[in-house]
């Protein structure tokens, strides 16, 4: 079995099938990202004075990787962001930004 993004799944309804919709919806993390789940943060950059992260989304092809604003990933995928930052040098600017935002 392989993973697929929730938008690629067609719902099947049958009165004899004992499945509850909340079980399916548990796979959706939040409404802001329409069910997209960060699989891995691949890179970071500054674009037009804004920090961005290159995201590989669970169940999607590498061609569908996207650059997302750092703040959005901080707000919705904080755990994955912290795992990524741990891999960076301790003097990397992202460490300072997270420390600042954590105090807010």
- 53-96 pLDDT, tens digit each: 999 998 888 999 999 999 999 988 889 999 999 999 989 999 99
Residue 26: the pLDDT is 44
Q: CB within 8 A of 93, min separation 6: which ones?
A: 51
Residue 36: the pLDDT is 81
CA 30, 13, 23 angle in degrees (round to 5)? Answer: 35
Closest C-alpha to 93, from 51, 64, 61: 51
Q: Which CATH number fits the domain 6-102, given the four candidates 3.40.50.300, 3.30.1330.40, 2.40.50.40, 3.40.50.620?
A: 2.40.50.40
pLDDT tens figures, 11-61? 555 555 555 554 444 444 445 566 788 899 999 999 999 999 999 998 888
Residue 17: the pLDDT is 55
Query: Domain ranges in the chain?
Result: 6-102
């Amino acid at each position: 079995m392989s993973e697929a993004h929730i938008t690629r799944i067609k719902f099947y309804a049958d009165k004899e099938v004992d499945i509850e919709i909340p079980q399916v919806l548990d796979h959706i993390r939040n409404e802001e990202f329409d069910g997209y789940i960060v699989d891995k943060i691949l890179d970071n950059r500054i674009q037009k004075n804004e920090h961005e992260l290159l995201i590989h989304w669970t169940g999607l092809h590498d061609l569908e990787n996207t650059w997302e604003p750092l703040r959005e990933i901080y707000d919705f995928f904080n755990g994955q962001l912290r795992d990524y930052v741990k891999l960076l040098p301790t003097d990397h600017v992202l460490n300072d930004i997270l420390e600042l935002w954590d105090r807010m």
